[in-house]
Amino acid sequence: MSIKFAGRCLIVLALGCPGLGAEPAPKPSRFEFAEPHMGSEFKLVLYTNDEATARRASRKAFDRIAELDNILSDYNNDSELMRLCEKAGGAPVPVSPDLFDVLSRSVSMYEQSEGAFDITVAPVVRLWRRARREIKLPTPDRIAQARALVGSDQLKLDPASRTVQLRKKGMRLDAGGIGKGYAAFAAIETLKKEGYPIALVAGSGDIAVGDPPPGRAGWTIGVAPLDASSPPKRHFLLANGAVSTSGDAEKFVEIDGKRYSHIVDPRTGIGVIDRCSVTVVAPDGGLADSLDTAVYVLGPERGLRLVESIPNTAAMIVRRTPLGDQTFESSRWKQLTPAPSPATPIETPTIRTP
């Protein structure tokens, strides 16, 4: 069975193939759950012995995602992240281990990407959200005012006291470029800790996987195409890692014939206009999600240089040009195990949580 990921058309298939000379022990069955979190539908696929166990395990995984949403949401004024933003311009604030970890990883990606990924980009993102609603470009003045509040060099993290200081009054954080990948991977870690290593968790274009389904070398991951409505053309196998996709396939605004993405260049304050889809594979979800956003902002040439410099990461970029689509692949992308386009239906029933 294929899982169609809302909007992104990333198709992930896990096919249970009986292997030759199989063990007499019963093979675990496949269970699938879905719940809304972080403004997306999160899917969870899990192999275990019975439905009651699968339900209990999935509850723990979804609870972990909900816990991270309560910490990271910028739609909920009560989230830990938003409460931290209210203290901008003041003294260092003690934060939870999860928030400190997300901010540390974000600052690290800011430094590695020379500012292309910037979790302090919120004031600029806010302008472009309004631009999408009103189909009207932000004024240069507004962009300049917002940009003055952006820069992760003004975010001070102290690991010893686990405190965070936003040094400028008015600074705001937006974990939208890292949160879903981080949460999908955290859910996989929870499942592993609880004894369920054969699992996949996906929040829209951010997927994390544990051990592969029985008898298989990996989960079959479809690469999201540039056109949100068409099916993936390429598939590869992945186990114990994460994959994230960024692009302008869904969220964008078109003004005077120019298409501006919901991903903005923090250094210019402008929505990225390159028509691209970026897929990143990495050992963990926070890295995959933040890196795909950074690569999207940097564009194929500089983006791939960044990917080459980060161990165990790989990327594929498809860029639309007037002469047709161009594909760029990092060196480690070529080492992924390609998988044929899957066609066999899955054997076990689908369970959807209410």
Positions that interact with Mg ion (CB under 5 A): 177, 246, 289, 292-293
Tokens representing 121 are 């980009």
- Cβ atoms within 10 Å, residue 227: 12
Tokens in use for 163?
Answer: 């405190």
From residue 100 to residue 129, what is the string marking binding to ligand ADP with x (rule CB under 6 A)?
-----------------xxx-x---x----
CB 187, min distance to ligand ADP, A: 16
Closest residue (Cβ) to ligand ADP? 176
Q: Are the beta carbons of 110 and 151 closer than 8 angstroms?
A: no
Q: How many Cβ atoms from other residues are within 10 Å of residue 81's Cβ?
A: 24
Spatial separation of the C-alpha atoms in residues 182 and 295, rounded to whole Å: 17
Question: Which residue lies nearer to ligand ADP by CB, 170 or 349?
Answer: 170
Stretch that binds ligand ADP, among 13-21, 86-94, 260-268, 318-326 (CB under 6 A): 260-268
- DSSP 8-state assignment for residue 242: E
Nearer to Mg ion, 79 or 246 (CB): 246
Residue 105 vs 262, nearer CB to ligand ADP? 262
Contact of 175 with 152, CB cutoff 8 Å: no
From residue 173 to residue 202, the character string flagging contacts with ligand ADP as x (rule: CB under 6 A) and all else as - is -x-xx--x----------------------
Options 156-164, 170-178, 187-195, 310-318: segment touching ligand ADP (CB under 6 A): 170-178
Could you tell me the smallest distance in angstroms from the CB atom of residue 202 to ligand ADP? 11
Compute the radius of gyration of the chain from its Cα atoms. 20
Examine residue 264 and tell whether it contacts ligand ADP (CB under 6 A). yes
Residue number with CB closer to ligand ADP (297 or 310): 297
Three-state secondary structure call for residue 335: helix
Residues 68, 104 contacting (CB under 8 angstroms): no
Q: Does residue 297 interact with ligand ADP by CB under 6 A? A: yes
What gap in Å lies between CA 4 and CA 13, rounded to an integer? Answer: 10
- Which residue intervals of the chain are DSSP H helices? 51-72, 80-86, 97-112, 122-134, 140-147, 179-193, 285-298, 300-309
| Residue count, binding to ligand ADP (CB under 6 A) | 20
Partner that binds at residue 125, options Mg ion, ligand ADP, none, CB closer than 5 to 8 Å by kind: ligand ADP
**How distant, in Å, are the alpha carbons of 92, 150, 186, 292 from that of 244?**
32, 25, 14, 6
Place of tokens 């053309």: 233
For ligand ADP, which stretch binds (CB under 6 A), given 10-18, 47-55, 171-179, 229-237? 171-179
Distance CA 36, CA 62 (A): 9
**Among the listed residues 146, 262, 288, 328, the single contact to ligand ADP using CB under 6 A:** 262
**According to CB under 6 A, which residues from 265 to 294 bind ligand ADP?**
266, 289, 292-293
Phi, psi of 341 (to 5 degrees): -60, 120
Which of ligand ADP, Mg ion, none binds 295 (CB below 5-8 Å, type-dependent)? none
Q: Minimum distance from CB of 185 to Mg ion (Å)?
A: 13
Q: Which C-beta is closer to ligand ADP: that of 284 or that of 292?
A: 292
Q: How far apart are CA 262 and CA 102, in angstroms?
A: 21
Binding positions for ligand ADP, rule: CB under 6 A:
117-119, 121, 125, 174, 176-177, 180, 204-205, 246, 262-264, 266, 289, 292-293, 297
